[in-house]
Structures are given as C-alpha cells and as structure tokens.
Amino acid sequence: MRALLVIDYTEDFIAHDGALTVGAPGQAVEQKITETIETFHKANDFVVFAVDVHDEGDIYHPETKLFPPHNLRGTKGRDLYGRVGELYEEIKGSANVYFMDKTRYSAFVGTDLDVKLRERGITEVHLVGDVTDICVLHTAVYAYSLGYELVVYKDAVASFDAAGHEWALGHFENALGAKVL
Ligand SMILES: [Zn+2]
C-alpha cells in the first residue's frame, strides 16, 4: 500500500507575497502536484496534507530564530495554495484524505502520521511539496529511518535554494534509496 504526502504547499511558502516563499519554482510545480493528488485520490490511496503550524513569537520553537514568522495558526498564510487548495476543498470529505498539522520540518515528529500509515498497511511513502531540502528532506529521512520505501517526484518538489534542491534529490536517491521520478 502507498500514501502520498503533500508537504507545506501553502500561501506562505508559495504565493509571491508569502511570508517564507519559494516563489516561482514553487508555483511551477502546482500542476504536477495537483495531478499527483488526483491520481492517488482516484486510486483510493491515502492522501496526506502535512502542513506547518506556528504560534507567533513562540520562544521555545527553534525556527523562531531562523526564519520570519510563517504558517501562523489561523492565518491565510496556512491555506493550501492555488489549485492544490481548490482540489483539497473538493476531496476533503473523503475517507482517504487526511489534513494534519506539523510543527517541525519532519511530518513524523510529534504527530500521529506513522500510526496512520501503519494501521492502513502502508509501506511506501510518495513525496511532493516544499521545501525540497528542508521539510521534504526531513520527512524523507524520518520515513526512511522508520522503514518506509520512498518515491519523490522531482517535478513536484521545490526550493528557494536551487543548489540545495539538487543536492536533496541526489540524497533521496543515494542515501535514502528513494526512487526519484
Ligand atoms: Zn515552519
């Protein structure tokens, strides 16, 4: 069994005026992400929207020192971006669609994602979204360590750091044994 994880495809990460935006490279993968979600949803595979959430001025959160405030709870910045957001609204009532908050780079840290996958017999995790070399990377590393097979869609992940993006694609393949399609 397989699941699709859609990582952090929100206004703050993708819109031109987003608080921590990937910008054009992020917008360029909108169509491929949308198509991939549609494929998984129609096949009745598990589709997970894993979305960063932060509280403003959280002094205990390590990202507070590293990045401007982003994906703040209850703000438009956390809305799923563009066509991906529209598609989510269409399919969100389905039993195989799961929206989950995450507070760290990895969607597995402090969440019930591993339990949700295991109870469904899922052994293969497919990844799309952003940022390739931050949240997608850390989620992939955790998934690998937990024993999942990995598939990453190179035309459906994006970063504000072109070199980091390329490095991460190599790391997925060479160090995590991922299929990079
Ligand atoms: Zn964050």
pLDDT digits (tens, 9 = 90+) for 63-99: 999 999 999 999 999 999 999 999 999 999 999 999 9
Ligand 1: distance of its center to the CA of 28 in Å? 21
Ligand 1: distance of its center to the CA of 161 in Å? 16
pLDDT of residue 133: 98
With a CB cutoff of 8 Å and minimum separation 6, the contacts of 132 are 157, 158, 159, 164, 165, 168, 169
Reported in sequence order, the residue ranges of 103-138 that DSSP labels E, i.e. its strands, are 124-130
| Unique residue bearing structure tokens 């590393």 | 141
Ligand 1: distance of its center to the CA of 111 in Å? 15
pLDDT of residue 91: 98
What fold, for 2-180? Rossmann fold (3.40.50)
Q: How far apart are CA 97 and CA 135, in angstroms?
A: 20
Provide the b/e sequence for 98-121 (b: ≥16 CB within 10 Å). Answer: beebbebbbbbeebebbeebeeee
pLDDT of residue 23: 97
Ligand 1: distance of its center to the CA of 134 in Å? 10
Q: How far apart are CA 25 and CA 81, in angstroms?
A: 14
Q: How far apart are CA 76 and CA 10, in angstroms?
A: 9
pLDDT digits (tens, 9 = 90+) for 25-39: 999 999 999 999 999
pLDDT digits (tens, 9 = 90+) for 98-133: 999 999 999 999 999 999 999 999 999 999 999 999
Q: How far apart are CA 116 and CA 96, in angstroms?
A: 11
Q: How far apart are CA 88 and CA 94, in angstroms?
A: 10
Ligand 1: distance of its center to the CA of 69 in Å? 8
Ligand 1: distance of its center to the CA of 104 in Å? 6
Q: Which of 43-47, 54-58, 117-121 has the lowest mean pLDDT?
A: 54-58
pLDDT digits (tens, 9 = 90+) for 3-15: 999 999 999 999 9
Q: Can you give the pTM of this predicted structure?
A: 0.98
Ligand 1: distance of its center to the CA of 43 in Å? 31
Amino acid at position 10, single letter: T
Quick check: helix, strand or coil at residue 98?
strand
Q: Where are the domains of the chain?
A: 2-180
